[in-house]
Amino acid sequence: MKYGAAFASVALYTCTFTVAAAFSRISLVRRQQQITSNVSPRNLRAWSLSLIKESELLEKIREGVSEAGFEEAWKGSVDEITSFVGIDVEHAEMCLAQALEWKAWAMAPSPTFRKYIKTKEPIVRELKDNLSWMVGKPLQLEIELLKQGILQFPGVYLVDSQVSFEKAISCAPIEYKSIECFRNQLAADLSILKNTYNCDTAEEGCAGNCGSCWVTYGNKKL
């Protein structure tokens, strides 16, 4: 009798699990159908490319870097990032690839499109100087904040960061004009380093630079 009850319990559990799994698969299929039905034909390919596994994307990036003759400089740059801020190799590579346009190159749908993407050569010395500048004066960014900045905004925190800072503070609103105020705000919000335009003060006015504009940044905070 005991064995019969135990068998019945196992059977009930198995049945319940199977039904739940089936509903889960149905839900996933429906969700995928909803997503693809809402994606326009123009963006469908881009959406599909976003599903490429990161490992496969990295392989494409490495192949492109190697073919361009930058393999040694690439490895040296990745090593510099990992040792400086403690990011693992894969994340360091992906951040570097995004900063130097190799990620965009690898995700391009065809060789024709890749011709129009201006990838950059990794230069170890420039990268090292850039990272050292970020933790020195005037910003004196803590290593953990620099790490987060690289992960979130690699194009700004790995390449020409001093140029970005000088542009950002030169057109910043009055409340961020001083080094101290800018530094304090940067510690609270790492995105401000990419605010290199201000349509309120620029002669051109709004020139389509909303993604890097202080006014847009201020409006988002409201």
Question: Does residue 144 surpass a pLDDT of 80?
Answer: yes
pTM for the full model?
0.75
**Adjacent-strand bridge partners of 213:** 197
44-49 own/partner pairs: CB under 8 Å, 24+ apart = 45/109, 49/107, 49/109
Assigned token pair, 111? 């060789």
How many C-alpha atoms does 42 have within 13 Å on its Cβ side? Answer: 0
Phi, psi of 158 (to 5 degrees): -115, -20
* 92: enclosing H helix or E strand: helix 89-99
Question: Does residue 10 surpass a pLDDT of 60?
Answer: no
Lowest mean pLDDT among 39-43, 120-124, 154-158, 204-208: 39-43
Q: Contact at 8 Å (CB) between 188 and 149?
A: no
